[in-house]
A and B are shown apart, each in its own frame.
Chain A
Amino acid sequence: DIVMTQSPLSLPVTPGEPASISCRSSQSLLHSDGYNYLDWYLQKPGQSPQLLIYLTSNRASGVPDRFSGSGSGTDFTLKISRVEAEDVGVYYCMQPLQSPPLTFGQGTRLEIK
C-alpha cells in the first residue's frame, strides 16, 4: 500500500505570508503516461473537501493562482504565496494511482495567527 506522509501537521501563518506543505509518498507516483498522480484537497471547516491541485501542478477551476503545486516521483509540495483568512482548513495530499483506492496524507491544519 502507498503511504502518504505530510508535514507539518499544523501550520500557523500570518495573513499575507507564504506557506508550504510537504507530501511524501512511499512509492513513486509517476505513471507511464508521464504524469505524477498527486492531488491536493482543502477541507474548510464544516464543508466537504474541495479539489485544489490535480496531477501535481494543475490548479482546479476557480482556484486562485496563489496556490501552486510541484514535485515528482515521491516528493511533492503545495505552496500558498500569500495566505488569506479564507485559506484556513485542513489540506490533504492524495494519490489516486494505485489500489487500494485512494490514499490520503494525514492532513495539515492551516490556521491564521
Chain B
Amino acid sequence: EVQLVESGGGLVQPGGSLRLSCAASGFLFATYEINWIRQAPGKGLEGVSYISSHGANIHYADSVKGRFTISRDNAKNSVYLQMNSLRAEDTGVYYCARGGKWVGSYQYFGMDVWGQGTTVTVSS
C-alpha cells in the first residue's frame, strides 16, 4: 500500500524544538518530491517546506525560514522537518504529501498521497 505516515508531533513550549518525521512505503521514494503542509486550527492549508527527490533543492515559506530545516534520507524512505524556535502560530496539524517525480524527466500528477497528519501544539 502506498502511504506516508507522519510522527513526532506533540506539546512544546514557545522557543522549543520538535522533529517531525514522514515515513514512506509502497513506492519508489527516492524519485519523489515531498512537501510539508500545515493547517492551523480552523484555518486553511499552508505550504511549509519542500524538498526535491535527492535533496538538492529545498524551499521554505517565509514564515518558517531560518527556524525550520527539511531533510531526507532516501535509504530510510523518510523526510524530516526540524522545527526550532517554535512559536504559538506554528500550532497546527502538519501533513507530508508526495509531489512530482523525476524519472528521466519531471512528471507531475498532483500531490496524490498525503499522510494522516501529526499535531503540533506550541503553548506554555
Chain A residues close to B by CB (< 8 Å)? 1, 35, 37, 39, 41, 43, 48-51, 53-55, 58, 60-61, 90, 92, 94, 96, 99-107
Contacts and interface: CB of A to CB of B under 8 A. Distances in A.
A96 B34 CA distance: 12
B108 A96 contact: yes
* Contact residues on B (Cβ < 8 Å of other chain), bracket: 20 to 34
Interface string B98-114: 01100000001111101
Given A54-B110, A101-B35, A49 B60 contact: no
Contact of A100 (B45, B62, B111): B62
Q: Which 9 A-B pairs have the closest CB atoms?
A: A102-B47, A54-B110, A101-B50, A99-B59, A101-B47, A48-B114, A51-B110, A104-B45, A101-B59
B92 interface: no
B112 A92 contact: no
A21 to B, nearest CB: 14
B114 A101 contact: no
B49 A49 contact: no
SS class, residues of chain B in contact with chain A:
strand
Contacts of A107: 44-45
Interface of B: 35, 37, 44-50, 59-62, 95, 97, 99-100, 108-112, 114-117
Contacts of A106: 44
B108 A49 contact: no
Given A39-B110, A100-B60, 20 more contacts: A37-B108, A41-B111, A48-B114, A49-B95, A51-B110, A53-B110, A55-B110, A92-B44, A96-B99, A99-B50, A101-B49, A101-B50, A101-B59, A102-B37, A102-B47, A102-B50, A104-B47, A105-B44, A107-B44, A107-B45
